[in-house]
Amino acid sequence: MTERPLRRDAERNRQRLLEAARELMARDGLGVPYEAIARAAGSGMGTLYRRFPQRQDLVDALFAEHVEAVAALARQALRADDPWTGLTWFMERQFELEADDRGLSELLRGARQGTDRLAQGCARIAELAAQLIERAVRAGRLPSHVVPGDLETVHLMVGAVMDASRQHDPARWRRALAVSLAGLRHAEPTRPREEEEADTHPRKAPVPPASPNGEHAHHVPAP
């Protein structure tokens, strides 16, 4: 199992490839073409493939420490005196990192599957985030119906705003985060499952009054 070290020139090329990938993925996301990375590094595609046969290998090498940094943020947030402050602080810091790095943003949002370092890192973050939620709930700073899954939802929501506005208005995600977090504190509990019976009931009358003009409800084309 001795991993003999790379030849000197090979190691240098590897570093160049990593740097190029780092920059491009931060700007354009994880899906940046291999060819673009190789060109930016001044190498051929063959070299890139030799070092990182799977894109996952490249992503792994690049983002391991970033993911670890986010986990560290979460751990620090868990030490905050006030659980709610800790939670909001964590979310803000996390999104600040994501705002500067589209690759990281995609990584943290996409559901990880592999057994690699990254997947474990993300799992650890999820666990810590769950603790942040639970701690805030226990302290009475969040309603008890808020669950860890709601944080993932918030992550999706704010991330979408970030994606849509990265060019146009890079700070817009802060508003989305403020709305989402306020929403967590004030949302009504989700209605318990009555969906099944709902269909047997007469469909809930449209909340707005049955049209002042006396027309009937507008026809909505069936999907």
Out of 13, 94, 131, 180, the residue judged to bind DNA by CB under 7 A: 13
CB of 2 to a second copy, least distance (A): 30
How many angstroms separate the Cα of 105 from the Cα of each of 15, 58, 70, 121, 153? 23, 16, 11, 14, 14
Residue with tokens 């499952």: 193
Token pair for 125: 């973050």
The alpha carbons of the chain give a radius of gyration, in whole angstroms, of 23
Per-residue interface string for the shown chain with DNA, residues 47-76, x marking contact by CB under 7 A: x-xxx-x-x---------------------
How many angstroms separate the Cα of 133 from the Cα of each of 55, 70, 150, 188? 33, 16, 9, 17
Task: In whole angstroms, give the CA distance from residue 97 to residue 187.
Answer: 27
Furthest-apart CA atoms within the chain: distance in Å: 83
Task: In whole angstroms, give the CA distance from residue 156 to residue 9.
Answer: 42
Q: Residue 50 binds which one of DNA, a second copy, none, with CB within 5 to 8 A depending on kind?
A: DNA
Catalogue the long-range contacts made by 178-182 (C-beta closer than 8 Å, 24 or more residues apart): 180/154, 181/87, 181/88, 181/91, 181/154
Q: Return the number of the residue (1 or 205) whose C-beta is nearest a second copy.
A: 205
Which of these ranges, 7-15, 101-109, 112-120, 122-130, lies near DNA under the rule CB under 7 A?
7-15
Instruction: By CB under 8 A, name the binding residues for a second copy.
Output: 26, 65-66, 69, 72-73, 76-77, 79-81, 83, 85-86, 88-89, 93, 97, 100-101, 135, 138-139, 150, 153-154, 156-161, 164, 171-172, 174-176, 178-188, 190, 195, 206-209, 211-212, 214, 217-223
Residue with tokens 């030849």: 7
Which of these ranges, 26-34, 109-117, 157-165, 169-177, lies near DNA under the rule CB under 7 A?
26-34
| By CB under 7 A, residue 141 contacts DNA | no
Q: Return the number of the residue (23 or 68) whose C-beta is nearest DNA.
A: 23
Out of 3, 9, 195, 215, the residue judged to bind DNA by CB under 7 A: 9
Q: Residue 33 binds which one of a second copy, DNA, none, with CB within 5 to 8 A depending on kind?
A: DNA
CB of 44 to a second copy, least distance (A): 28
Residues 6+ apart with CB under 8 A from 20: 37, 38, 40, 41
Q: Residue 59 binds which one of a second copy, DNA, none, with CB within 5 to 8 A depending on kind?
A: none
